Chains A and B, each alone.
Chain A
Amino acid sequence: MNYDVVVIGAGPGGSLAAKTCAERGLSVLLVEKRQEIGAPVRCAEGIGKKDLQKFVEVDKKFIAAEVVGAKIYAPDGTEITLTEEMAGNEVGYVLERKIFDRHLARLAAKAGADVIVKTTAIGMERTKDSVKVKLRRMGEEFEVGCKIVIGADGVESRVGKWAGIDTTLKLNEIESCVQYLMTGIDFDPEYCHFWFGSNIAPGGYVWLFPKGNNSANVGIGVMPSLAKRSPKEYLDEFVERNYSNGKIVEVVAGAVPVKGEIETAVADNVMLVGDAARHADPITGGGIANAMKAGYYAGIVAAEAIQKGDCSAKTLRRYDELWKNDFGKDLARKRKLQQKLIKMDDETLNKIMHTLANCKLEEISVKAMIKELIKRHPKLLWDLKDLFL
């Protein structure tokens, strides 16, 4: 069996890559290790409206809820409200990933990609300008030949390592996450909610994303280098304090890479997209939009390279250019901001939030907001000025 491209992982990044390749006339195989695409979910399911609309026609069947902004709570409870635009466009829609991911895989299939599930990639072997991908499907091992492998295999990515890209994360480059789907709780369904504080979620935050009908994703991410306990213990405490009457109808766990921009997501015959390339936002943890963008770019570059008859790292470097120009710099900047934020104690965080609470936020941009903060807290934030001003 031979294809132009094999895509490992059928999340949003992988499906977009497969779809884009197929639309450009390439033969594509999309491989998913799980027996069900999109389940179990490992995600809070929030995405900005514009980002989603860029890649798919929005269909109500995969939208669980719509929100108008974000409410952020300081350690002392001070509340600030951000509009959708100010929240970094990470909020707007709350997806139903189980339906959304399948929809994207179907779009890839419709464009001409072959799809196989319950099939794990277990190895990869490069020969002269082609790759043999070793797959295991329900216990049976077989090989598929291709010219390009797109690794969209998530936070636990193996493809990068096989190709010589070291993607191992350190304990301060990852958020360890647990999430409950809760029902029967009271909250403002117009907003996504975020709680910060060293006792609430060290190096991360607690979130509540509405999912319609009085239900919501209530989850937590903590940075293992700072956390004293597991995220589950912190989350249980939070839920007990705030939503003790709610019922938990689903438990999911996950991890988000928050390493920031990596040097390269490319090797000979290989490109990495989404969480596999550490494309998630180091501040918000959001990753769906960047994964879809990266998948799209990888698809375009795959088509170009195959037409040119050259799938070397040098040619595929064009993909690095595309994703870095689009959101790579933003990842690097957010990583620096994150490094700054995780060093702040609760008192400092409170002070900053008080400043923000007193601004008329609707009238200013994120840039203006950070400028204002640097002006008012120069000692704290001075070294960020070159990044944001």
Chain B
Amino acid sequence: MAKRVVVNRYRCAYCGACVAVCKFNANELVETFLVIDEEKCNGCGICVKVCPMNALEVVS
């Protein structure tokens, strides 16, 4: 199965860090709600490394 990133909403503090590093524009902060576009995300995990809250995880 292809890799993708999922968000733990209980941890996410909707700061936008993950949006700033995603060159595929897969992550989007809608008001205070993080949306990850599964079509665009290839699971590279760069956003996992930048997340201040450990709220993101690569799964397959």
Contacts and interface: CB of A to CB of B under 8 A. Distances in A.
B40 to A, nearest CB: 13
Contacts of A333: none
User: Chain B: interface residue count, which band?
Assistant: 20 to 34
B31 A34 contact: yes
Interface in A223-279: 224, 230-233, 251-255, 257
A169 B15 contact: no
B2 to A, nearest CB: 22
Interface in B19-48: 19-23, 25, 28-32, 46
B7 to A, nearest CB: 13
B15 A42 contact: yes
Contacts of B49: 171, 224
Contact of A257 (B15, B20, B51): B20
A128 interface: no
Contacts of A70: none
Contacts of A40: 13-14, 32
Of B17, B21, B29, B32, most A-chain CB atoms within 10 Å = B17
B31 A253 contact: no
Interface residues on A, range: 20 to 34
A174 B52 contact: no
Given A253-B15, A253-B17, A257-B20, A171 B50 contact: yes
B20 to A, nearest CB: 5
A169 B50 CA distance: 10
Contact of A231 (B19, B22, B25, B52): B52
B17 A176 contact: yes
A176 B52 contact: yes
Contacts of A233: 54
Contact of A118 (B15, B17, B31): B31
Given A40-B14, A176-B17, A253-B53, 6 more contacts: A156-B17, A168-B21, A171-B46, A252-B13, A253-B13, A253-B14
